[in-house]
């Protein structure tokens, strides 16, 4: 399928042929008929992409701070790789489409194949011939609705949500600052809802268009007195509400608002506007300030958007989907005029040329709609038929996120006798981006084709946690050597199924517990390996807070103890080298019993030789505190590893620094070992019993904390 993308490092716009996305269980695959270009939002993204790195940093200082924190935790090299990979990637454009449902997921209940829909969402409803969109971001269309006009539903929902935030009453008078796409849609919706409208824009043509299509009055800031215009329309009382829909770095709209609004009036910010509020005039009129967030309730909530779990209408009357539906109802009832808002309908094949000139021509368009080839066909696999190479290690990969492309793939690429053969990802753009960087022979969005590919002898599972066990089982049943990032499984049932699959498989299994491969951990291992005395190990992990929108916090992905603590359990078992007998889990906090709050825990492991490992994992530490700190002691000597940056040995009454040439966490060495295992030069350090034990310790730690008892392993 054709898809438009931008490289955020170079700013390059490209219309490329990529695999069509897979259809997941909670959504539908849509064959796009029309997609709407949001001139303001998308032109800003294009302009941002064309900035140099210094300009990008100045424009987004909060992201610079994130990079600095990443450098502190990962080091300069790893942080640079991570940032550059994210910038130097094919990023989709667009977030509003209409089209035909051609596939449905197993959990979809309100849509079926052949339904026409309007759909929205960044990274979902993109400018592409096919899009996977979750059900809650789709609205079914009747035959009475113009399909082209329906492509505006997502942006119209932004306008509707802004109007709702002001809590307007029938007959009130409003002002709209910025008569672009959102402003024009707001005008149409407001006037049909019984509100009088003052249209304000620095572009005289847009004000005239607004007056022609229903505005009660218009004003141009550089030509007219906005306060007088507001008073003239309201018999001297002032506007009931003022909406800021434009993107501006000027504080003038915020400073003028108190003069234009009545006592206790409302100011609603919808655009990207500077909001330096002058206290006195806002206090004097007791004005109310509202922020309007995107399409409405449900936005940025993974349960609502990704898993299509709706909010009860008795508690949340209008969600983002119901806001979209409100607009579709207005179209169906012929209550609004939106045809004039579409400045041009353009064939999608011209999209790259259009975007390359958007910054210069954006003022001439209110909006542009792309039309798509109705005969486009689904193609999910591309085979580039590279000449056969007699590589010893031939890799097939499922999943290609930022971690894989920055920490694993570059190390594999540098190894001799290694070939990237096949790749499956959720989206075609991601697959094509990885192909260009790592020279895959075959790419697609169907993981089954990678698993059954006879040309590979190493299957790497690098997906989200919830699909680890199913892909491992399929790989083992196909007799593959399977590498999987942690965790092995999310619960005991998944673990049991993996064990059963391994029993009858000719394949093997390797889990990405990379820290045991790091030079620092192995120096500690060598220091203490000859000490035949009990050891005490303390491992503090400042895991860091994650926003609820992060996929790690998705309800289907387990919790962070199951997802990440296996790293630290494996490291403890590797260093102590004795059979664990008991585990005790203790939550930090009272009554923290649901799955998504079990992220702060003390795990105490007791071993047969009398050793004890104490793993303290928490998410509430300061960002400046290094993530990992390990301390081990035995027989009157100790070693301290501070975030893999420094290693100090304490012996004979004095500390001594140990030189670490490679200060990484073992990813490079892990990939080297993995390749050597496939070549037959090394033995797999993991057997099924051991991998099962590591997972069981995390499961039993949670059970221990829930029950308040020590559990025997």
**pLDDT higher than threshold 80 for residue 72:** no
Please give the domain boundaries of the chain with CATH numbers for all domains: 2-151+342-371 (3.90.180.10), 169-291 (3.40.50.720), 382-512 (3.40.50.720), 515-712 (3.30.360.10)
- Among the residue ranges 31-35, 155-159, 244-248, 632-636, the one predicted with the least confidence is 244-248
For residue 686, give Cα distances in angstroms to 472, 512, 534, 570, 689.
Answer: 15, 10, 24, 10, 8
For residue 376, give Cα distances in angstroms to 91, 102, 379.
Answer: 22, 12, 9
pLDDT value of position 663: 87
pLDDT tier at 671, thresholds 50, 70, 90 = very high
Q: How large is the average pLDDT for residues 214-230?
A: 94
**pLDDT higher than threshold 50 for residue 234:** yes
pLDDT value of position 77: 67
Mean pLDDT across the chain: 92
- Among the residue ranges 17-21, 23-27, 389-393, 453-457, the one predicted with the least confidence is 389-393
pLDDT value of position 591: 47
pLDDT value of position 602: 96
Highest mean pLDDT among 9-18, 71-80, 449-458: 449-458
Residue 519's nearest CA partner among 679, 309, 668, 317 is 668
For residue 587, give Cα distances in angstroms to 547, 590, 604.
Answer: 20, 8, 12
**pLDDT higher than threshold 80 for residue 672:** yes
pLDDT tier at 580, thresholds 50, 70, 90 = very high
Strand, coil or helix: 101: strand
User: HEC profile for 264-311?
Assistant: EEEEEECCCECCCCCHHHHHHCCCEEEECCCCCCCCCCHHHHCCCCCC
Cα–Cα dist 361/343, whole Å: 12
pLDDT value of position 8: 81
Cα–Cα dist 276/274, whole Å: 6
CB 321 within 8 A of CB 139: yes
**pLDDT higher than threshold 70 for residue 100:** yes
Look at 227 and 59; give whichever has higher pLDDT: 227
**pLDDT higher than threshold 70 for residue 60:** no
Cα–Cα dist 347/156, whole Å: 23
Q: 672 is written with which tokens?
A: 């080297």
Non-local (6+) Cβ contacts of 221 within 8 A are: 200, 202, 252
Report the first-to-last Cα separation within the chain, whole angstroms: 52
- Please name the residue ranges forming H helices in 529-565: 560-564
Cα–Cα dist 378/384, whole Å: 17
CB 161 within 8 A of CB 294: yes
pLDDT value of position 592: 52
* Helix (H), strand (E) counts: the chain: 26, 32
Cα–Cα dist 35/32, whole Å: 7
CB 137 within 8 A of CB 309: no
Q: How large is the average pLDDT for residues 437-457?
A: 96
**pLDDT higher than threshold 90 for residue 333:** yes
**pLDDT higher than threshold 90 for residue 275:** no
- Among the residue ranges 59-68, 139-148, 218-227, 350-359, the one predicted with the least confidence is 59-68
**pLDDT higher than threshold 90 for residue 57:** no
Non-local (6+) Cβ contacts of 138 within 8 A are: 27, 28, 30, 101, 111, 117, 118, 119, 321
Q: How large is the average pLDDT for residues 160-173?
A: 96
**pLDDT higher than threshold 60 for residue 590:** no
Look at 596 and 681; give whichever has higher pLDDT: 681
**pLDDT higher than threshold 90 for residue 41:** no
User: HEC profile for 569-629?
Assistant: HHHHHHHHCCCEEEEEEEECCCCCCCHHHCCCEEEEEEECCCCEEEEEEECCCCCCCCCEE
Non-local (6+) Cβ contacts of 408 within 8 A are: 460, 462, 667, 671
pLDDT tens-digit series, residues 607-632: 999 999 999 999 989 988 999 999 99
pLDDT tier at 11, thresholds 50, 70, 90 = confident
pLDDT tens-digit series, residues 102-138: 999 999 999 999 999 999 999 999 999 999 999 999 9
pLDDT value of position 271: 82
pLDDT tens-digit series, residues 506-553: 999 999 999 999 999 999 999 998 899 999 999 999 999 888 778 888
Q: How large is the average pLDDT for residues 61-73?
A: 65
């Amino acid at each position: 399928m054709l898809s438009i993308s931008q490289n955020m490092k170079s700013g390059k716009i490209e219309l490329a042929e990529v695999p069509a996305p897979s259809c997941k269980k909670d959504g539908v695959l849509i064959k796009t008929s029309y997609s709407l270009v949001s001139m303001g939002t998308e032109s800003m993204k294009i302009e941002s992409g064309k900035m140099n790195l210094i300009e990008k940093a100045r424009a987004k200082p909060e992201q610079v701070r994130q990079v600095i924190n990443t450098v502190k935790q990962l080091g300069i090299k790893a942080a640079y790789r991570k940032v550059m990979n994210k910038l130097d990637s094919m990023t989709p454009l667009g977030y509003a489409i209409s089209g035909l449902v051609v596939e449905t997921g197993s959990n979809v209940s309100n849509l079926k194949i052949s339904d026409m829909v309007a759909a929205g969402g960044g990274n979902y409803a993109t400018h592409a011939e096919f899009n996977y969109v979750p059900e809650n971001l789709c609205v079914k269309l009747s035959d009475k609705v113009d399909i082209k006009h329906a492509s505006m539903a997502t942006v119209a929902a932004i306008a509707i949500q802004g109007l709702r935030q002001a809590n307007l009453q029938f007959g009130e008078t409003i002002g709209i600052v910025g008569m672009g796409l959102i402003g024009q849609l707001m005008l149409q919706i407001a006037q049909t809802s019984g509100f009088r409208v003052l249209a304000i824009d620095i572009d005289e043509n847009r004000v005239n268009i607004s007056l022609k299509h229903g505005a009660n009055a218009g004003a141009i800031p550089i030509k007219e007195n906005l306060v007088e215009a507001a008073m003239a329309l309201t018999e001297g009382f002032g506007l009931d509400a003022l909406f800021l829909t434009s993107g501006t770095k000027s504080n003038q709209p915020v400073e003028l608002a108190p003069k234009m609004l009545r006592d206790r009036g409302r100011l609603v910010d919808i655009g990207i506007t500077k909001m330096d509020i002058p206290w006195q005039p806002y206090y004097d009129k007791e004005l109310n300030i509202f922020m309007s967030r995107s399409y409405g309730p449900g936005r940025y909530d993974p349960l609502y958007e990704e898993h299509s779990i709706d909010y009860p209408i008795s508690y949340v009357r209008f969600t983002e989907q119901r806001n979209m539906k409100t607009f579709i109802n207005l179209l169906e009832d012929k209550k609004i005029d939106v045809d004039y808002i579409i400045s041009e309908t353009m064939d999608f094949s011209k999209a790259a040329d259009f975007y390359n000139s958007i910054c210069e021509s954006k003022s001439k368009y209110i909006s542009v709609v792309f039309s798509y080839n109705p005969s486009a066909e689904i193609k999910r696999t591309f085979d580039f038929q590279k000449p056969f190479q007699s590589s010893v290690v031939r890799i097939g990969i499922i999943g290609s996120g930022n971690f894989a492309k920055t920490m694993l793939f570059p190390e594999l690429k540098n190894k001799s006798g290694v070939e990237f053969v096949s790749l499956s990802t959720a989206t075609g753009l991601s697959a094509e981006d990885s192909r260009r960087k790592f020279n895959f022979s075959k790419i697609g969005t169907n993981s089954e084709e990678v698993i059954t590919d006879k040309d590979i002898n190493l299957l790497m599972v690098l997906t989200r946690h919830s699909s680890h066990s199913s892909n491992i089982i399929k790989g083992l049943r196909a007799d593959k050597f399977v590498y999987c990032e942690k965790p092995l499984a999310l619960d005991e049932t998944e673990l049991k199924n993996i064990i059963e699959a391994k029993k009858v498989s000719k394949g093997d299994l390797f889990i990405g517990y990379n820290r045991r491969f790091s030079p620092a951990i192995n120096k500690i291992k060598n220091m203490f390996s000859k000490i035949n005395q009990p050891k005490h190990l303390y491992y503090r992990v400042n895991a860091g807070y994650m926003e609820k929108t992060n996929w790690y916090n998705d309800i289907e992905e387990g919790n962070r103890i199951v997802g990440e603590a296996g790293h630290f359990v494996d490291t403890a078992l590797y260093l102590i080298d004795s059979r664990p007998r008991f585990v005790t889990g203790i939550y930090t906090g009272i009554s923290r019993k649901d799955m998504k709050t079990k992220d702060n825990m003390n795990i105490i492991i007791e071993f047969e030789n009398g050793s004890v490992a104490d793993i303290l994992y928490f998410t509430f530490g300061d960002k400046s505190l290094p993530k990992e700190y390990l301390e081990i002691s035995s027989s009157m000597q100790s070693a301290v590893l501070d975030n893999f940056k420094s290693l100090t040995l304490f012996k004979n009454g004095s500390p001594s620094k140990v030189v670490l040439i490679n200060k990484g966490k073992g990813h490079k060495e892990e990939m080297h070992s993995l390749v050597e295992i496939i070549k037959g030069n090394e033995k797999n350090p993991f057997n099924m019993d051991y991998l099962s034990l590591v997972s069981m310790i995390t499961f039993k730690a949670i059970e221990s904390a829930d029950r308040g008892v020590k559990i025997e392993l």
